[in-house]
């Protein structure tokens, strides 16, 4: 569907003295322009250009992860052509967000952020970025759509806009006409890499949450309860404010809390239950150890349950690997797949086909010797269907006592089954 989608891997609040109603658009743009900076990232073999949003006076700047990743040197350039050296605080590949810190800035003018949940289709917006390295440039448009899934990651929830966004705009802000950030420009739909009137921005609420996680912890910790959900349709009519539990991980918080596959969720804390993707996003942004009151409909009876959110197993797994290998955790946060050391491979989960796709396999490993190759797809582990990366990690951990797993997968020659010894207890 999105084969022509070009993600821009570029060369790669403050208080108003005058109310927003009294300010012209030109005055609003002049007021917020200094809160946008140009980003230049130098690495061994390339230079990436992007934009960034100043989020605090003491030098924190947010941009896209694909702009800042693999950097040897990061430079932040203000509208006054002042150039500062910046360091990477942390990045989150799943939302394509990176947080930078300029330590020697005398004064930065931060942007103010709006509640992106209140943005409506048709609202006027403007973008400021660094297209083609020209420096701060402004373009005007409207919100074309909300809650777009562009198959970029598991938490897609993009704002679509017809505001001109080109190479160099990545990481820059999308403002409403009050001069508040409603999104961070991240990707475009294009045949040639240039603007065609379809751009995508990460909502400001997601940006703010990730920034706080990176600022406070250096990484993003996501909540997890271990279920997959789908919309409910009766006689072709979509039922509002309820979702059905379609899959569940074994020994998950949901299972321990009494939820069953087939239950209809009527209430989960204060969460919206209208969109499966947004439900997963809300769960991921819930602090681990939070107890969620849950109401389900089962056999036409309403049941009151409670589920305790835990740290997503994938996050635990990656943290443990980083500690025991002696490598910094940032080395894992730079990866877009998930490294499974116990199986000597890197994998990702294909939400569309609901299976695990192998991204790479270590040479001379048992997996490679038994014919597993990049592009192969896992269907079952120890006879059980795999419902996601977190479920795969849980199943591997449960199999550690036996020291091996049986994988059924689809390769170039069709279905095959192999037994692999786990490299360690993880």
**What whole-number distance in Å separates Cα of residue 401 and Cα of residue 426?**
10
CATH of residue 146 = 2.40.10.120
Residue 405 near residue 422 (C-beta atoms within 8 A): yes
Shared domain check, 46 and 25: yes
Q: Which one of 162-166, 391-395, 415-419 scores highest in mean pLDDT? A: 162-166
More confident residue, 356 or 111: 111
Shared domain check, 349 and 273: no
Residue 262 lies in a domain: yes
**What whole-number distance in Å separates Cα of residue 357 and Cα of residue 373?**
10
Backbone angles phi, psi at 283, to 5 degrees: -65, -45
Listed residues 292, 311, 330: the one ending a domain: 311
> CB atoms < 10 A from the CB of 387, how many?
23
Q: In the chain, pLDDT over 70 holds for what percent of residues?
A: 84
Task: Give residue for tokens 């409207």.
Answer: 142
Shared domain check, 111 and 53: yes
Shared domain check, 242 and 116: no
**What whole-number distance in Å separates Cα of residue 206 and Cα of residue 191?**
28
Query: Which of these, 140, 52, 143, lies nearest to 102 by C-alpha position?
Result: 52
Query: Which of these, 215, 218, 160, lies nearest to 186 by C-alpha position?
Result: 160
Q: Which two tokens stand for residue 399?
A: 């199999």
Residue 377 near residue 357 (C-beta atoms within 8 A): yes
Shared domain check, 293 and 354: no
Residue 177 lies in a domain: yes
With 80 as the cut, is the pLDDT of residue 300 above it? yes
Shared domain check, 232 and 119: no
> What's the pLDDT score for residue 74?
95
| Number of domains the chain is built from | 3
Residue 368 lies in a domain: yes
With 90 as the cut, is the pLDDT of residue 3 above it? no
**What whole-number distance in Å separates Cα of residue 243 and Cα of residue 231?**
5
> CB atoms < 10 A from the CB of 331, how many?
13
Residue 426 lies in a domain: no
**What whole-number distance in Å separates Cα of residue 119 and Cα of residue 131?**
25
Residues belonging to the active site: 66, 96, 170
**What whole-number distance in Å separates Cα of residue 208 and Cα of residue 203?**
9
Residue 229 near residue 279 (C-beta atoms within 8 A): yes
**What whole-number distance in Å separates Cα of residue 421 and Cα of residue 426?**
12
> What's the pLDDT score for residue 46?
83
Domain with 114, as residue range(s), is 5-217
How far is C-alpha 350 from the geometric centre of its chain's CA atoms? Answer: 15
How far is C-alpha 280 from the geometric centre of its chain's CA atoms? Answer: 11
With 90 as the cut, is the pLDDT of residue 353 above it? no
Backbone angles phi, psi at 179, to 5 degrees: 80, 25
Q: In the chain, pLDDT over 90 holds for what percent of residues?
A: 46
Pick the range with the lowest mean pLDDT from 51-55, 403-407, 413-417. 413-417
> What's the pLDDT score for residue 207?
97
**What whole-number distance in Å separates Cα of residue 48 and Cα of residue 147?**
28
Query: What's the whole-number mean pLDDT along residues 364-387?
Result: 84
**What whole-number distance in Å separates Cα of residue 227 and Cα of residue 245?**
7
pLDDT category at 319 given cuts 50, 70, 90 is very low
Shared domain check, 245 and 118: no
Residue 253 lies in a domain: yes
pLDDT category at 240 given cuts 50, 70, 90 is confident
More confident residue, 421 or 16: 421
Query: Residue 365: is it exposed, middle or buried by C-beta count within 10 angstroms (0-12/13-18/19+)?
Result: middle
pLDDT category at 323 given cuts 50, 70, 90 is very low
Pick the range with the lowest mean pLDDT from 17-21, 212-216, 329-333. 329-333
Listed residues 172, 202, 217: the one ending a domain: 217
Beta strand 112-113 pairing with 180-189: parallel
CATH of residue 374 = 2.30.42.10
Shared domain check, 110 and 49: yes
Q: Which one of 111-120, 196-205, 392-401 scores highest in mean pLDDT? A: 111-120
**What whole-number distance in Å separates Cα of residue 340 and Cα of residue 314?**
10
pLDDT in tens, 34-55: 999 999 999 887 888 999 999 9
With 90 as the cut, is the pLDDT of residue 105 above it? no
Query: Residue 26: is it exposed, middle or buried by C-beta count within 10 angstroms (0-12/13-18/19+)?
Result: exposed
Shared domain check, 230 and 205: no
Shared domain check, 187 and 52: yes
More confident residue, 15 or 120: 120
Shared domain check, 366 and 291: no
Average pLDDT value for the chain: 83
| Radius of gyration in angstroms for the set of CA atoms belonging to the chain, rounded to a whole number | 23
Q: Length of the chain, please?
A: 426
Q: Which two tokens stand for residue 5?
A: 């989608």
**What whole-number distance in Å separates Cα of residue 91 and Cα of residue 119?**
26
> Taking the alpha carbons of 176, 181, 183, 188 in that order, is the dihedral positive or negative?
positive
Listed residues 183, 217, 251: the one ending a domain: 217
Residue 393 lies in a domain: yes
> CB atoms < 10 A from the CB of 218, how many?
16
Task: Give residue for tokens 């917006």.
Answer: 125
CA angle 143, 144, 148 (to 5 degrees): 105
Cα dihedral: 384, 388, 389, 390 (round 10):
-80
> What's the pLDDT score for residue 39?
95
**What whole-number distance in Å separates Cα of residue 388 and Cα of residue 393?**
9
**What whole-number distance in Å separates Cα of residue 64 and Cα of residue 172?**
8
Residue 302 lies in a domain: yes
pLDDT category at 357 given cuts 50, 70, 90 is confident
Residues 6+ apart with CB under 8 A from 220: 90, 92, 94, 95, 210, 213, 214, 315
Shared domain check, 120 and 68: yes
pLDDT category at 407 given cuts 50, 70, 90 is confident
How far is C-alpha 352 from the geometric centre of its chain's CA atoms? Answer: 17
pLDDT category at 425 given cuts 50, 70, 90 is very low
């Amino acid at each position: 569907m999105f084969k022509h989608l070009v993600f821009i891997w570029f060369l790669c609040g403050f208080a108003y003295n005058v109310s927003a109603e009294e300010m012209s658009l030109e005055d609003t743009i002049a007021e917020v322009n200094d809160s946008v900076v140009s980003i230049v990232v130098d690495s061994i073999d390339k230079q990436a250009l992007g934009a960034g949003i100043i989020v605090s006076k003491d030098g924190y700047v947010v941009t896209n992860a694909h702009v800042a990743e693999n950097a040897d040197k990061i430079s932040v350039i203000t509208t006054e052509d002042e150039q500062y050296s910046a360091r990477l605080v942390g990045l989150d590949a799943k939302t394509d967000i990176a947080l930078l810190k300029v330590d020697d800035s005398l004064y930065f003018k931060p942007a103010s952020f709006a509640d992106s949940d209140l943005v409506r289709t048709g609202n006027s917006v403007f973008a400021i970025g660094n297209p083609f390295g020209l420096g701060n440039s402004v373009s005007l448009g409207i919100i074309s759509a909300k809650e777009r899934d562009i198959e970029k990651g598991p938490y897609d929830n993009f704002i679509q806009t017809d505001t001109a966004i080109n190479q160099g705009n990545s990481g820059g802000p999308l403002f409403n006409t009050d001069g508040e950030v409603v999104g961070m420009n991240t990707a475009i739909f294009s045949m040639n890499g240039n603007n065609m009137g379809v751009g995508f921005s990460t909502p400001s609420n997601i940006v703010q949450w990730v920034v706080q996680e990176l600022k406070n912890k250096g990484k993003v910790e996501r909540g997890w309860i271990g279920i997959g959900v789908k919309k409910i349709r009766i006689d072709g009519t979509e039922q509002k404010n309820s979702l059905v539990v379609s899959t569940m991980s074994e020994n998950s918080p949901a299972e321990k809390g009494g939820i069953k596959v087939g239950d209809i969720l009527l209430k989960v804390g204060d969460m919206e239950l209208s969109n499966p993707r947004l439900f997963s996003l809300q769960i991921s942004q819930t602090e681990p150890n939070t107890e969620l009151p849950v109401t389900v409909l089962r056999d036409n009876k309403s049941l009151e349950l409670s589920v305790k959110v835990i740290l997503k197993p994938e996050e635990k797994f990656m943290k443990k690997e980083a500690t025991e290998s002696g490598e910094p955790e940032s080395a894992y946060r730079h990866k877009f797949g998930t490294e499974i050391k116990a199986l000597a491979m890197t994998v990702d989960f294909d939400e569309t086909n609901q299976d695990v796709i192998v991204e790479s396999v270590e040479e001379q490993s048992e997996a490679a010797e038994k014919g597993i190759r990049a592009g192969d797809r896992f269907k079952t582990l120890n006879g059980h269907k795999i419902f996601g990366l977190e479920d795969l990690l849980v199943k591997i951990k449960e199999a550690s006592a036996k020291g091996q797993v049986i994988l059924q997968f689809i390769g170039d020659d069709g279905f095959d089954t192999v037994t692999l010894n786990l490299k360690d207890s993880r």
